[in-house]
Amino acid sequence: MPSSILYDRITSNVAEADPGAAELSLLDVSSPALRREAGVALEARSPNADPSGRLTVYPKAPLKGPVSGRRARIARFAREALKTAATLLILVVAVAAALVIWDFYVTAPWTRDGSVRVQVARIASQVSGQITEVRVVDNQYVHQGDVLYVIDPFDFQVALDSGKAQLRQKAADQQVRQMQAERRQHLSNLATTPEEQQLYAGNAIQAQAAFDTAQQQVAQADINLKRTQVRSPVNGYVTNLLMRVGDYAQAGTNNISVIDADSYWIDGYFEETKMAHVCIGDRAEAALMGYRDPIVGRVQTVTRGISVSNATPSTQGLPNVDPVYTWVRLAQRVPVRIKITDVPPGIPLVSGMTATVTIRSAEARETGGTLRQRFASFADHLADIVHGQQPSPGCVPRVGDENGATVTLPTPKPVAPLNPEQINPGLAPGLNTSPRAASRSDDSH
């Protein structure tokens, strides 16, 4: 009886400590040897026993079935494949980003070195005199033909009136001398001589020449009087006006400037390494500093010559060659002229403003540029990076003819001087021959 009670207490304590100890209940309780063997087996399964010997902890045994092992291998392979794919994707994106950045900054035709340009009419008076009236103010918009300022017209009015008076005098003298010459031509040889006929005919021609000269002088005096009102030759803005009433206008000296509002363009200074992608007619976008919307235009011309410092002769007439480092060579910049076709509203064009100019590709030039066209453009630029830049045929007209020889302009030749006979033929045909007889012989021929 006591042994059974002791067994129940042992089994209950073991069961509370570890459910696995309940296996002792399946053993034969009547055999002490079997109980000892079972205890040793349980101690072997639980190496992490409490040093006090009162409590034994048994770890949970992992599942080692064939199905659970296959699932673990599949999950581990999926994680490794996902890591590899993510790494490759990041590498591809990094390479593509590097190529895009390289294409944009190195090979793509764009430049921050752009500026707005304009033609300026530097106006000078064609006559000299004191300025009596200024009809414009600084930065005023004027139309072509508007009067800018007026020069004192008194002297020029007097010159015109004097010229008209002299013209009347020359006209009367020409009429009298022409009548005398005609009268002598109708007289017989008994009433006049050939010498007298030649003399009166010469006087008539001289009077006609004086009359023509007086007419030209009147015309010159009239145009000088009109030039006292200096007018604008273009539509534009008066700029940097420093002239005041009372200043003296010197003929041929610039004293007022007008910006031609119809002549604005943009110059983009592109590096020579990017000129292979610049074609005449390409779409160009110029973004001004401080404005969001770009100015749209077209490539109009490409400058065919820039200054070369090595070509400048020295003081002795020898070439002045600048030393350069062979491993450091800056790309030369070539001016490209952009014709403005569209200006967004609210953007004032001011000559000298800084612009970032971007040249679009041929695909973008035709239809405005879609995603597919941009990808094709990027592919072309990538091919340029690998194989080198290939210029598009027909982008820029060739210099010279097909044989490579440049065309020269013909040099004008001076006109041979004329003698008096060529100017007035038949005036003095001979010593004893009258002009009337000479004129009749010319008419018969």
Q: Is 70 exceeded by the pLDDT of residue 269? A: yes
- pLDDT the model gives residue 436: 58
pLDDT band for position 49 (50/70/90)?
very low
Residue 203 to residue 13: CA distance in whole angstroms:
163
pLDDT at residue 317 is higher than 90: no
Residue 369 predicted with pLDDT over 80: no
Residue that the structure tokens 């291998």 belong to:
73
Crossing angle between the packed helical segments 154-186 and 194-226, to the nearest 10 degrees: 160
pLDDT band at 387 (very low <50, low <70, confident <90, very high): low
The pLDDT of 375-384, averaged and rounded, is 65
* pLDDT score recorded for residue 153: 96
Average pLDDT of every residue of the chain: 78
Mean predicted confidence (pLDDT) in 206-234: 92
Q: Which pLDDT band holds residue 118 (cuts at 50, 70, 90)?
A: very high
* pLDDT reported for residue 177: 87
pLDDT at position 251 is 95
Q: For residue 276, give the DSSP letter.
A: G
Q: Residue 293 — pLDDT band, cuts 50, 70, 90?
A: very high
214-223 — which CB contacts under 8 Å span 24+ positions? Answer: 214/163, 214/166, 214/167, 214/169, 214/170, 214/171, 215/167, 217/163, 217/166, 217/167, 218/160, 218/163, 218/164, 218/166, 218/167, 220/163, 221/156, 221/159, 221/160, 221/162, 221/163, 222/160
pTM score over 0.75 = no
For residue 389, report the phi and psi dihedrals to the nearest 5 degrees.
-75, 135
- Tell me which of 176 and 419 has the higher pLDDT: 176
pLDDT in tens, 390-445: 666 667 665 554 555 665 667 777 666 655 555 566 655 554 555 555 556 555 55
What's the average model confidence in pLDDT over 91-103? Answer: 81
What value does the mean pLDDT take over residues 223-238? Answer: 95
pLDDT top residue among 377 and 250:
250
Q: What's residue 393's pLDDT?
A: 63
* pLDDT above 70 as % of the chain: 66
Name the residue among 445, 441, 417, 419 with its Cα closest to residue 429. 441
Lowest mean pLDDT among 41-55, 137-151, 298-312: 41-55
Residue 377 has pLDDT above 70, yes or no: no
Residue 90 amino acid letter: I
Higher pLDDT, 437 or 321: 321
Q: Which residue has the higher pLDDT, 290 or 28?
A: 290
What is the average per-residue pLDDT within 135-157?
A: 96
Is beta strand 147-151 parallel, antiparallel or unpaired with respect to 354-359? unpaired
Give 105's DSSP letter. Answer: I
